[in-house]
Amino acid sequence: MLIDKVYSAVSQIANKNQLGGYISPAEFNKYAEFAQIDAINETVDGKLSGALLDIDELSDVIKTTQIAVASGFATQPSDYFRYRASMGYSVYKGKGRSVVLNLVEENEWAERLASEINIPTTTFPIMRGVGTSFEVAPATLNQIVLTYVKVPLMPWWNYTLSGSTPVFAATSGTTTNPNSGVTAGDSTDLTLSDAFFPTLVFKICRYFGIEIKDADLYQGAITEQKN
């Protein structure tokens, strides 16, 4: 599992930095969650540099679903995290049609509604986020086809003890996995693909306060865990 590779690499770097090599599983799980969210946000925003780290690498957390619109409002999915794209569907003169539906900021929403030239139409509709809903204009749209990034499960490195040393356990671990619908003793892998492995290791090390000054040390740990 990727989460164990990341844990092992972080532990190795901590050890070679003379920090004792012991990484608290509880802290690691907390920082792994932070690192994963950071990586998702930075990838969506196009701010995460590195080979292969583009939006295609988020395929495991991207979903597409249809949402009904009632009186101009559509409820966001319960696992909605970040917007990617949307289409609007309406019935016009007895025929259904789909059009691009753009998500706009508050200032553009107000400007478009007040415009005499660029007012939203069934051909060029817009929507905005309002709490846990989307508001669409014009309100005659019947349905949204939404593509979005879902909230990932919390990564969870579970373990058993060998003496006083935590040993990775994919199942039957000693701690209770907090994710709904997951067996209590199981581990939950990181949702991101292996392409994010170096990024996750780097981010978690930073959360632990480990300064990676030796590039050879860092690359050695990464290479060893990849193999």
Question: Do 46 and 108 sit in the same domain of this protein?
Answer: no
Question: Do 145 and 178 sit in the same domain of this protein?
Answer: no
Question: Do 119 and 157 sit in the same domain of this protein?
Answer: no
- DSSP H/E element including 41: helix 25-44
Question: Do 45 and 115 sit in the same domain of this protein?
Answer: no
Per the CB < 8 A criterion, the answer to whether 212 and 10 are in contact is no
Examine the fold and report which residue of 131, 150, 169 is the final residue of a domain before the chain moves on.
150
Question: Do 88 and 118 sit in the same domain of this protein?
Answer: yes
Q: Sign of dihedral through CA atoms 214, 216, 217, 222? A: positive
Question: Do 109 and 144 sit in the same domain of this protein?
Answer: yes
Q: Count of CB atoms within 10 A of residue 169's CB?
A: 18
CA 218 to centroid of chain Cα atoms: 25
- DSSP H/E element including 166: strand 165-168
| CA angle 105–111–117, rounded 5-degree value | 130
Tens-digit pLDDT profile for residues 9-29 = 998 888 877 655 578 999 999
- Rg value, the chain, Cα: 23
Domain extent, residue 144, equals: 59-150
Question: Do 99 and 127 sit in the same domain of this protein?
Answer: yes
**pLDDT value for 185:** 97
Give the phi and the psi of residue 108 in degrees, each rounded to 5.
-70, -35
| CA angle 150–30–18, rounded 5-degree value | 135
Walk along the chain (227 residues) and give the pLDDT tens digit of each residue. Answer: 999 999 999 988 888 776 555 789 999 999 999 999 999 999 888 877 655 567 777 888 899 999 999 999 999 999 999 999 999 988 766 677 889 999 999 999 999 999 989 999 988 999 999 999 999 999 989 999 999 999 999 999 999 999 989 999 999 999 999 999 999 999 999 999 888 998 899 899 989 887 766 554 556 556 655 66
Q: Give the count of domains, the chain.
A: 2
Per the CB < 8 A criterion, the answer to whether 50 and 197 are in contact is no
Question: Do 38 and 53 sit in the same domain of this protein?
Answer: yes
Question: Do 63 and 44 sit in the same domain of this protein?
Answer: no
Per the CB < 8 A criterion, the answer to whether 189 and 1 are in contact is yes
| CA angle 135–140–141, rounded 5-degree value | 65
**pLDDT value for 114:** 94
Question: Do 108 and 185 sit in the same domain of this protein?
Answer: no
Question: Do 218 and 161 sit in the same domain of this protein?
Answer: yes
Per the CB < 8 A criterion, the answer to whether 142 and 91 are in contact is yes
Examine the fold and report which residue of 119, 150, 181 is the final residue of a domain before the chain moves on.
150
Examine the fold and report which residue of 86, 116, 150 is the final residue of a domain before the chain moves on.
150
Question: Do 129 and 169 sit in the same domain of this protein?
Answer: no
